[in-house]
Amino acid sequence: MARMNSTFFEQHVDFLDTRNDHVLVKTHGYLTQALEHRLAENKVKVFATYRDPRDVVLSVLDAAQVQRDQGNTKTRIAKVQSFEDALNFVRQDYDRFFKWAEVGQLHYISFDDLALNPESVISRVCNELSISVKPGVVLEKFKDKQNIRRFNKGKPDRYKSELSTDEQALVLSRFPDYQEFVSSL
């Protein structure tokens, strides 16, 4: 599997323009100029997932530990060692998220909906893409969590049992812009 980073998009954007079918890309990457232009021209559709920042911090801490356990100590996420590191990591991700959101025309998906009602999310995405797919067919492969490349825990509201009240408040105090944005969706 090729890493779908910003450089990949810039190098392959002409190829993507020649496609008559749908190309699905999952990324945490930066919005490139090439993608920004295609988004503005309605040549691509972007679906952005949003999630409670308290759960995101926990997910980052988990993912960092998994990376280190696998010997991947040089990746950006593997360098997250503390709660404060996780907050800083999430801040950078949210700054990237806002760059995508500024362009507009994004379709937003709640992580909770994705985790709890995946059939509905798949139907919505397929409808937006004007394709006909049975959600059950798509989901069949993912019944085995081993088929999800970086499956974490996939549980909404983990923060309620895993973060102290003070930690929850700290997270919320760091991301009021993000909370305000997603509450408007």
Mean pLDDT of 90-97: 94
In this prediction, what percent of the chain has a pLDDT beyond 70? 81
Which pLDDT band holds residue 6 (cuts at 50, 70, 90)?
A: low
Which candidate, 48, 22, 16, places its Cα nearest to that of 35? Answer: 16
Mean pLDDT of 133-156: 73
pLDDT of residue 2: 44
CATH 3.40.50.300 range(s) for the chain read 45-183
Beta bridge partners of 106: 46
Mean pLDDT of 89-94: 96
Backbone angles phi, psi at 144, to 5 degrees: -90, 110
pLDDT greater at residue 185 or residue 171: 171
Tracing tokens 């990324």 back to the chain, one arrives at 27
Tracing tokens 């993507």 back to the chain, one arrives at 16
Query: What token pair was written down for 40?
Result: 């503005």
Mean pLDDT of 145-153: 61
pLDDT of residue 162: 96
pLDDT in tens, 66-81: 899 999 999 899 999 9
- Give the DSSP H or E segment for 183: helix 176-183
Across the chain, what does the average pLDDT equal? 85
Indicate the CATH number for domain 45-183: 3.40.50.300
Mean pLDDT of 110-131: 90
Mean pLDDT of 44-73: 92
User: According to DSSP H, which parts of 49-175 are helical?
Assistant: 53-69, 83-103, 111-116, 118-129, 135-140, 159-162, 165-174
